[in-house]
Structure 1
Amino acid sequence: MKKIYTSRNSRKNKNQIHEEDYYYIQSNIFPKTLGKLPFLPNVFVERQNDIKNIRNLLLEGNNPLVLFNREAGIGTTSVASKYYYEFQNEYKHIGWVHCKKNICTAVLTLAQSLGIEFNEKMAENKRYKCILQVLSSIEKPCLLIIDDVNDYEDLKNNIDKLNECSNLHILITTNITNFNLIKNYHVKELNEEQIVALFREYYPMHKDSDNVLLGEICRAAGYNTQVIIMFAKHLYEFNQVRETYSLNKLLEEFQKKGLFLAKDNQIIGTEYHVYGGINEEKPEDILKVLLEIGDLTEQEKSLLSVFAVLPSIGITHKDLTDLLSQVKGIELILATLSQKGWIDFNESTKTYKCNTLVQETIKKNKSSMELLDDCNVLIESLISRLEYEPGTGHLTKISYEKATTIIEYSEAILQFFKTAERSISVLCERIGRYHATVGNLTKALEYYEECTELKKKLYNEYPTNTGFKFGLAIAYSQLGTVYKNIGNLRKTLMCFKEDAKLTKELYEEYPNSVALKNGLAMSYSQLGATYQNTYNFSKVLEYFEQYTKLKKELYEEYPNNMGFKNGLAVSYSKLGTAYRDNGNIPKALECFNEEIKLFSELYEANPTNIRIKNALAISYSKLGLLYKNMNNFDKALKYFMEDTKLTKELYEENPGNVGFKNGLAVSYSKLGSMYKSKGELSKALEYFEEYSKLKKELYEECPDFIGFKNGLAISYSKLGSTYKNMGDLNKALEYYEKYIKLRTELHEEYPQNIGLKNSLAIAYYKIGMFYKDYKNSKKRAYKYFQESEKLLIELLKYMPQSVIFSSFLDKVEKRMKSLKNIH
């Protein structure tokens, strides 16, 4: 059973809580390893003093602890990785995240490991706080390492938040040197002995007589570990058979390129120390020369481009060979690049990693278009793996567990490529769809907005390209859907109108296209649904009529197509609702009957299809409500019974489905209301008790979920009203008091929620009327009327134009006036 929680911040800020502040945890048993395993180099120079010092600082309570060095490539990540593996058995849970964008997005990657599901409307910053809330509650001691945090403001803004996780040892690697808000530990450059040891690990033929020269080159290279390793591997590669290429020869090649010149600008040999040493050089300039003199093939350079745009994390051999299966000789190219030092390979984990210094060097030495050409195979592979089922958005080729890795690769690529190219726009759309499907609307919005901009540029550049025009229409539709889900109706309408405009133009150009006809129908449906939320019922009717017309044509053209038949049923449902809201009841009845007819036929043909069965149940319910409003209670009861029968079967077949359980509770409520209207109070009581029983169970299972608590309050109101009508005033009062208690709690928890404030005003009025009419207690009645009046005055301050609130206030004040003689 999933447990539902609210964020700590929301509980402190009850004025601002919304249903989207809830998140779900699948289990309170968390795995030991959180996130991905860090990359551990095959060779690790002895830094035991560093490891020991870090351990002592963490045990002393210096948390978070920052490991820093001013230059990339010195080894802070390797030291953190070594600590992770050496002390992993000392921790209950260990986590590693790579900060490719900011600390917030890095920590959010732990959600899957922790089994956390967020409400799709929850903002990213709130999700981040929820993750920290969960991390602070898990069994200690725990370790969290955040690698590669190089934005000073980001680090500054997050330190206090991370500090709240007192049960965690937190290590942060960075090249920021002046951060004094927390304890720092400086990972220093290697000393001469360590340099020689590291160099010899990769170049066993190194001679002691070259130690002085090696030391001077390392000094001039800023003691950069990555540069030292690449020098060693370069020499080894050129000297595998016999030594013909010395360290001095390598130095001369650099000097010919203008690097490592003697400080008096003379080209020197091993006697450089006589002249006062060689010039210091930037690591990226050194790697640029190595790239020029390294004899890399075009295929090797292309594969380096791929590594340059992927995240600087351990990437499995399987991932690379799967994603780049079309690259001829991929296995040999990977092995060669590893031997030459351009990428690292860990034999035990079968993972590759490209150092950030190498990545930046590659990106600076190729144009954006050259890099895009080199990465085309990778991008197309990622697009293919993120294929999804139309409608549901469910991935069809990979699991959601695997998708997190594919998304990480894809997002890293889009951080670099901003070009209006077809492949980039499609990859952007796939990422947006993934985030929409898993319920991260903030991320979905980010990528859909970017996708729409890219597709707009493509269409503007190639206005006669039908594919680009259709792609832009789809992009607007997807973006509009996200805006709708986050509640931005103005932008929703704008996007859906653009979608409908483009799709209509395409359909008029290609009237025989089934896809465009169906697409235009869906565009009209989206516009109709959006206008419903703005209460523009004439517009709603206009678009749902056009939607139904096209759906009817499609079904008549393809009567055996189950999808078109289902679509027509749905269109009748929406059109019926539109007619009802416009007051055209005969037309509404006609549409609802057509809907039931189609869903009944679909259900008979597909009796095991849960979705169709549920749709039929909902159809019966809607028709029942319509007949109830027409005071045709017998027909209403007939359809409510059909609804309850199907919904009960659905719940019994799927007892773990909260939606079906809640649906059954609602069905019982409707039957109770129906019998109450018919005057059959015993029957009404029976169904209201079933309704209340299920709502109570739902609330007890998920006590933090506002909807279930609200539903339980409503059930108590219905029970109180029924007992009142049956003459059992003590029972009626008992339930009214329970009703008032829950309504008061909900209002106190969410005082700015207009709906809950209004509901409490109604509750006070109801119990006031009960005391006035049935308990002959005018004083208590007046007291409750006063409370209702107070809330309604507050509501009218928020919504002064509300006719509903002003009418209700007039009603309450009249009741109070009739009782004024008691004061």
Structure 2
Amino acid sequence: MALHPFLTQIRQLIAEDELPAALQQLHALLENTPKLDEVIQQSGRLADVRKQMRLGMVSFEQMTVTKNQIRMGLLELVSEIEKEGVKPGWKEEVEKAILSINNSKNAVAGSTLQAGGNINIGDTFIQYGDIKIPRHLGSLVSKPALLLGREDDLGNIHQQLQSGQHFLLLVNGMGGMGKTTLAAEYYCRFLPQYTHLAWVFAETGITEALLTLNNKLKLDFPPAMPNSERVMLLMDALRELEGPALLVIDNANDLEELRKHDNILRACPNFRLLLTSRITEFEQASTYPIAPLEKEKAALEVFKMHYTAFENQEVPLFYEVYDAVQGNTLVLEVLAKNLQQHNTKLKKRYQLAELKRDLEKGLSHLSQSKEVAVAYQAKGTGLRHEKPAVILLAMYDLSELNRAESQLLSNFAVLPAEYLPYAILESLLPNLSDLDQLLIALAQKGWLDKNVEEDAFRVNPVVQEVVRVKNEDLLVDCRPLIRSLIEKLDYEGTIGHLLNVSYAEAATYAKLGESVVNAPLIPDYDIANLCERLGSYHRALGNLQRALTFFEQYNTLCEELYATFPQNVNFKNGLATSYSRLGQTHSALGNLQQALTFFEQYNCTQTIRKMWNSKTPWLFRINSLETPTAT
């Protein structure tokens, strides 16, 4: 009786998290035996915990714990059967069950691979002469515990890989959209249709990733052999394997690396190649774009599963959060899990409304933050436990960019995260002579997103936050943009008539300018001047409250700069002007007492400025903190 191979196959199903399939085969195997009760109990537990998670009664983490308990119980049951053998009382029933199951899997639906001969579906190894090669050649792949809204994607990906498009990229320029999760689900779900499967991670390069397969392929390279020669021998070995086989390369984000390895990868016609990448265009391969989960359906459901204290009246707030992060799957998961750590159905310590307000300051500025567990970029087979900011800031590496690309991206980091027309960008960034090529390159690499007409580009909030936090030259990179906005919004004298643009054009530049002055840039005289331009623009339109807001920002920056550099004449002049603008605006609003206060401060700063210009000994003594003598 072929009991041992059959139990090995069940173990494989358990390892791949195919618990329903493993339970089904155990049920058939142990029909009419005393052991069947254990299988029925474990089936009930699995069905119950899945239902509870759908209803929001247990968290994803709690469901995972229960599934792990079921998995351990089944493995112990399989070991017990293997150790004790088949009891005489039910030997005949087990033999019938194995025969029935084996006959039912003669061939895999939709596959050219037939069971029998040297290859059996479910075998751990495949015999090649005297050598046994494992079916699984690469890293351990776990079936995703949660996957919603991707059924159509799975079917489309499989259809494309089976229809002659053997080289397919799963793409979305935004990290954290679920490309790796979808690839892992495909790997596990369609495992029976491939003779061999390999999963490699291209963190340090495609050559290095492929060479991780050499041990399981039983290859022994000379110590002095360079990697370029080793990878060619490895590809020769892959070509000798029975097909169809599957190779998944995760995180293939380096465009030049991909171009360099294109011919090498295509030299294995027996392999279907599935790559996850932020590269949005690659001329040598078909691409399958991974869209965000639907806001009203799958995305909301996933958020509820990770945040069980979610209430129905919070749905509109969730939609705002979804839009703010452009539907990024990982960001939504991290935010939901962070809320879960702070709230219960009995008491909420950190409301979704508070989180929404925090997002306006940036993804790494949550007012309440605790460690959450995610699979993204986790080392080994466990989960990664970090605070949200740490996880999100690790999604992009600025070292991938050249200086010009980094400089351009810095400007997007302080502009609104929405599509910006090329014509507007060109008018604001005259210092970037190859702007069109830089935009296209960043879009192709996945750092920017371009619209269908390919004449407008936008950045996603995660990239913005990474650049704002990690780029020490952010203000330097943005200074040409700030000065361009100041020039666009320049005006004539006291009447505020715009000199360089129409009022219709100024509306666009004012919106961009507001985004810049609200970005987390260090206090700077150019930013102060931009605040003054924005205030004057709104004053000319009659929006006095808006004008007051920017004049107050102007005044705050000038005070900070003057306090730090009291000898800088420009800062003194700027401070005096800020008091004048505040006085004029309060006067127009009817706040006469406040207007008088600011006019008095204006007169005071003007007097100090005149004394400074006269260079009297009295002023020098004040500047050196000496006590002036009476005059």
TM-score (norm 1): 0.31
Structure with greater helix share of residues: 1
Larger Rg: 1
TM-score (norm 2): 0.40
